[in-house]
Amino acid sequence: MDKVFIEELYILATIGVYNWEKEIKQKLLLDLSMDWDNHPAAATDDLRHALNYAAVSEAVTSLVSGKPFELIETVAEEVAALLLNDFQIQHVAVTVRKPGAVANAKCVGVSIERTRS
């Protein structure tokens, strides 16, 4: 299976468990790797047969920036569910990074892989 990917999608979100985090926006970086058959798009040179990464980016940004989250684990799960359900992707890998969450680390994060049932 082919892969369509988006690296370091920058999203400002309300994310965190501490009270002060609930009052500010923080940066999240998302990496998405989505299984997709690129043959039809390549054969026709037609966007209608491609996984539209601009539409994927907009949908993920809207989801993550649109409501508060406490855990990046929840962000990853909800993004995976959105992609599997709304874009008919069969398999997705989602990495969510939260830069600056730990003082002496460049960033922390989680990675998950999910398959549509």
> What is the predicted pLDDT for the residue at 117?
85
In the predicted model, is pLDDT for residue 1 greater than 90? no
As a CATH number, domain 3-115 is: 3.30.1130.10
Among residues 3, 22, 67, 98, the one annotated as catalytic is 98
Residue-wise pLDDT tens digits, 29-64: 999 999 999 999 999 999 999 999 999 999 999 999
How much is the average pLDDT of 7-19? 97
98 assigned to active site = yes
As given in the structure block, the two tokens for residue 26 are 């923080």
Question: How many other C-beta atoms are found inside a 10 Å radius of the C-beta of residue 97?
Answer: 18
pTM, to two decimals: 0.96
